Amino acid sequence: MRLVVGPFNRVEGDLEVTLEVEAGVVRTAWVNSPMFRGFERILSGKDPLDALVFVPRICGICSVAQSSACAQALAAAIGVEAPENGRLAANLVLAAENLADHLTHFYLFFMPDFAREAYRARPWFDGTTERFRAVTGSAAAEALPARMEFLRLMGFLAGKWPHTLSIQPGGSGRAVQASERIRLIALLRRFRDWLECVLFGATLEEVAALEKAAALDAWCEAHPGSDFARFLEIARDLDLHRLGRATDRFISYGAYPLAQGHLFRAGVWDGGLHGLDPGAISEDISHAWLAGDEPVSHPCSGVTAPDADNAGGYTWCKAPRWNGRVMETGALARQMVHGHPLIRDLVAHDGGNVAGRVVARLLELALVVPEMERWARALRPGEPFCSHGELPREASAAGLVEAARGALGHWLEVSAGRIRNYQIIAPTTWNFSPRDRDGMPGALEQALAGTPVAPGERVPVAVQHVVRSFDPCMVCTVH
């Protein structure tokens, strides 16, 4: 039986999933990103600095991440390095977006599925419905104001969110004054309080220090009533750790550059840790509605030419590969590569899966907010926030950052003072990649194989958990 699932909502942007179902499980899946705008073509011929206006508008939920990748590529082309204040301010702005996205995913996109009628018979159903039901649940009414107050950080450091121009190649165009720094610290403290009271029912440090799957279980028993514990209880009841396993190969470009290196290291994990070799990244267009002489290219020389009639195509999305391999990216991948003991232990038991992806996101809230507090305290009003330099007329550069959803890369080529080529690989381009020329399915396509479909289910609920566990951003995917 073939099932077309769409419009797939509570993801950012448009998504359609086609499933071949046999004997109550998904045998094969095809993932379609059904919208094409053509940012890479729009950017062609533009003044290189104008990219700072265009790229955040690829995506309203990863807007700062797009700006950061662009600024990093331009900085490399200019040969400029941000002063310490600029680096800290840019990290604060990116971290605010990434953490707000994790919160949005948990409360608005992911949890409402457990309030579906399909779960009426479960012991946790009534409480979950009151708390997490879409639109009317009590959790959204608490999480949205907390998120709004947290994003006031953007009002201070970025002018507004989404779509700022304060992120500059040389750091930040928004210097923080002494009284503003004090208010920033207070704002972060308030967000910490909310997370500790409502989401965790424990200190951030206590959550960050969990090292083993067994410790997480014990913690859940000891902290009933927090939203994190509610999720863990549901996850255990529904065996979400056995759902949605993909390739167990993970990529991270490294998150939050600091003077001494990234806060979370860059690399690739495939059972062991490898250094990140950006030269090993390629994109394959064999199953996309795209035309080109080369089926596989490094993004330096990538081409984006739409061809709605390409017979092999079933999506607008290219297929990124690392050394020819399918990769998963996101918070789980980031913490796997960095080596957080809890995430390494969870993956050692059950591989990458629905439960682990959600745990990794919430864990990052506990890990990064204390870092943001440190960064805000380390700001030195009165000292420079931005360095300056001239863009050469010829340049080739890349910007690799970690968005909430994982590895985001921009590849820029400047010729005669204009953009000659601009190529983007977004996190969900990796995760929701189509097949490549060898017929190898992408990460979600692999994760969906084996997912149960109950008799008569028009919109299989387990499929929804698997898809949403990746927190896809479809507007970034094709751009």
Partner 1 sequence: MNLLWLQSGGCGGCTMSLLCSEARDPLGQFRDAGIDLLWHPALSEPTAAEALDLLEGCAAGRTPVDILCIEGAMLRGPHGSGRFHRVSGTGRPMTEWVARLAAQARHTLAIGTCAAYGGIPAAGENPAEACGLQYDGAIRGGLLGASYRSRSGLPVINVAGCPPHPGWVIDTLAALAAGELREEDLDALGRPRLYADQLVHHGCARNEYYEFKASAEKPSDLGCLMENLGCKGTQAHADCNLRPWNGEGSCTRGGYACVSCTEPGFEEPGHPFARTPKIAGIPIGLPTDMPKAWFVALAALSKSATPRRVRENATADHLVVTPAVRRTGLK
Residues in 282-341 at the binding interface with partner 1, rule: CB under 8 A:
306, 308
Least Å distance, CB 213 to partner 1, is: 31
23 lies in the binding site for partner 1 (CB under 8 A): no
Which CB, 5 or 210, lies closer to partner 1?
5
Distance between CA 297 and CA 283 in Å, rounded?
5
CB of 347 to partner 1, least distance (A): 28
Rule CB under 8 A: is residue 14 a binding residue for partner 1?
Answer: yes
Alpha-carbon gap, residue 245 to 197, rounded angstroms: 32
Binding region for partner 1 (CB under 8 A) out of 159-167, 235-243, 337-345, 438-446: 159-167
Q: Shortest Cβ distance from residue 151 to partner 1 (Å)?
A: 5
Query: What is the spatial distance between Cα 414 and Cα 408, in angstroms, rounded to a whole number?
Result: 20
Listed residue (25, 8, 469, 472) closest to 241, CA to CA: 469
Query: Minimum Å distance from CB 349 to partner 1?
Result: 30
**Residue 162 is inside which H or E element, if any?**
none
Q: What is the CA radius of gyration of the chain?
A: 22
- Give the CA distances from residue 350 to residues 124, 240, 247, 357, in Å, rounded to whole numbers and listed in that order: 24, 10, 12, 12
Supply the minimum distance, in Å, between the C-beta of residue 442 and partner 1. Answer: 17
**353 is a contact residue toward partner 1 (CB under 8 A):** no
Q: 91, 130, 87, 122: which is closest to 239 by C-alpha?
A: 122
Residue 57 lies near partner 1 (rule: CB under 8 A): yes
Q: Where are the beta strands (DSSP E) in 114-240?
A: 167-168, 171-172
- Fill in the per-residue mask, 62 to 101: x = in contact with partner 1 (CB under 8 A), - = not in contact: -x--------------------------------------
Kindly tell me which of 145 and 392 has the beta carbon lying closer to partner 1: 145
140 binds partner 1 (CB under 8 A): yes
- Of the pair 247, 431, the CB lying nearest partner 1 is at 431
Whether the CB-CB separation of 269 and 338 falls below 8 Å is answered with no
Total residues in contact with partner 1, by rule CB under 8 A: 89
Contacts of residue 177, defined as CB under 8 A and 6 or more positions apart, other chains included, come to 381
* Residues within window 217-256 making contact with partner 1, judged by CB under 8 A: none
Which residues from 27-46 bind partner 1, rule CB under 8 A? Answer: 32, 34-38, 41-46
Shortest Å distance, C-beta 218 to partner 1: 33
Residues 106 and 100: their CA atoms lie apart, in Å, by: 10
Residue 388 near partner 1 by CB under 8 A = yes
Q: Is 53 in the site for partner 1 (CB under 8 A)?
A: yes
**Phi, psi torsion values for 48, nearest 5 degrees:** -55, -35
Pick 14 or 350: Cβ nearer partner 1: 14
In the complex, minimum distance from the CB of residue 158 to partner 1, in angstroms, rounded to a whole number:
6
CB atoms near residue 218 (< 10 Å): 12
Strands 290-291 and 267-269: unpaired
Distance of closest approach, residue 419 Cβ to partner 1, in angstroms: 10
Which of 67, 168, 226, 252: binder of partner 1 (CB under 8 A)? 168
Residue 197 Cβ vs partner 1, minimum distance, rounded to whole Å = 18
Question: Cα-Cα-Cα-Cα dihedral of 252, 256, 258, 261, to 10°?
Answer: -10
Amino acid (one-letter) located at 320: P
> For partner 1, which is the closer residue by CB, 173 or 295?
173
